Structure formats: C-alpha cells, structure tokens
Amino acid sequence: MRKSLYILIMFLNIGIVKAELPITAQYPDKITYNGTEYSLNSNPLEPYFEKNPENRPDMVSTALWRGYVGHFEIIDSELYLIDMTRPIGFYKDEEGNSKQRWISIYKRYFPRQDKVKIDWFTGILILPYGDLVEYVHQGYASLYSHYLLLEIENGSFNESREYGFEDFIEFKRRQFNEYRKTKEYQKLYADLKKSDESIDESFIQQFMLDFVINYTSKFLTE
C-alpha cells in the first residue's frame, strides 16, 4: 500500500514534490490574501520549473525537495509571485535559540520584474489555517481546523470560499461526486489504474477523494 500511495503521488504531482520515499512534510509556499499571510497546500510555481528544469534550484533538504519557497500575493484580483526564498543555515537569536536563516533568490530568476503574474496557473489554491487537527509527516497532508479556498483561472482570482474542518471534508465529498461525472475523472482513473494494476479500486477512490481539490481546476458544487 505504501508503494501504491507513492506511485499515485508521483503521478498526480499534486504539490508533493517528486522524491524517493519517505515523502517528508514540506516547507509550504506562502500567500498573502486580504492582508494576511497564509501557508499554501499548493505550489503555483512548479509549472514554470517543469518547463524550465535547468533553472530549478538544488534540493535543500528532505523538507524542501523543490529547493525554494514561493511567496505569492493576490493583488487587484491577480495572483503574483513577489519573492522566492531558501534556507542557508542556522543562527542563534538573542535568547540563544537556534533559528533558520533564509535568503531571497527571486532576482536570480526574474531580475527585471518586481512581481510576476502567475498566468500559467489555473486551479484551486488551498490555504489551511487555525489549529492543527492532525499532523501527518508527509507532503501537505496535515489537517487544520479551517480552510480558505481560492479559485484561480489563468492567474486571475475568481472566487473564495471558507470552511471549518468538517464542512471542508463535506465540500470535498460534494466536489468529488461532481468530478466523477466528468471525462477528466474517467481518464485519470484509467491512468492511475494502468500505472499499477495491483492498486485496488477502493484505494484509488479514497486517494482521489482526499486530494480532489488539487486536481480539479474550479469549484464544481456549492
């Protein structure tokens, strides 16, 4: 089952960066929305590096396989990248506590732009916040008490929705039920089954339900 989960994660590329097992919990990207900074359960910059693999930063650690943390902001209803950072080591603060030191690497990639519209991204951004309900040491699988969802189309903000944990789980079920009616679902299911014929149907269905927001591009239900 562990092997099957890895194959599905690799295939979907749902914000958990490709890597050898174990798939460690990752440093999330950040986004500022309505003046508040949130962590992201999505990586909107990844399509850029998929098209330009020669530019990808080196892996930092098992907690940062992609080599960077993207800092995004919704500005005038548009999604922008405003910074990229990566850790370079540790330092001691005034109380003697060890702290991670971060530097900006943004200008290495976009030297002439103060901000970059992420017009290649279409999908639903997941912004978890509030209390930690359950910690899962894998990708972005930990669960939180509240979720803010932002629907983005070609870098333009369309709609936001906010859910408590239980309502978020119920929304995913409704979203999945609608997704199952689409040709995209049929193709994805067939491809996943083909990738490893030993995976049983119930496992695929549960996995697709758990991560339905990551591979649907818009809200399919109220």
Domain boundaries, the chain: 2-215
Q: Residue 74 pLDDT > 90, yes or no?
A: yes
pLDDT given at position 139: 62
Percent of the chain with pLDDT over 70: 88
Q: Which two tokens stand for residue 5?
A: 């989960």
Partners of 73 in the β-ladder = 32, 80
Q: What is the CB neighbour count within 10 angstroms for residue 152?
A: 24
Q: Residue 1 pLDDT > 80, yes or no?
A: no
Mean pLDDT, range 155-174, rounded to an integer = 97
Q: Residue 20 pLDDT > 50, yes or no?
A: no
| Cβ-contact 150, 157 below 8 angstroms | yes
Q: How confident is the model at residue 177 (pLDDT cuts 50, 70, 90)?
A: very high
Q: CA-to-CA distance for 203 and 184, rounded, in angstroms?
A: 19
Q: Residue 174 pLDDT > 60, yes or no?
A: yes
Q: Give CA separation, 149 vs 9, 88, 131, 134, 157, in Å.
A: 21, 32, 17, 19, 11
pTM: 0.85
Q: Quick check: bond before 22 cis, omega within 30?
A: yes
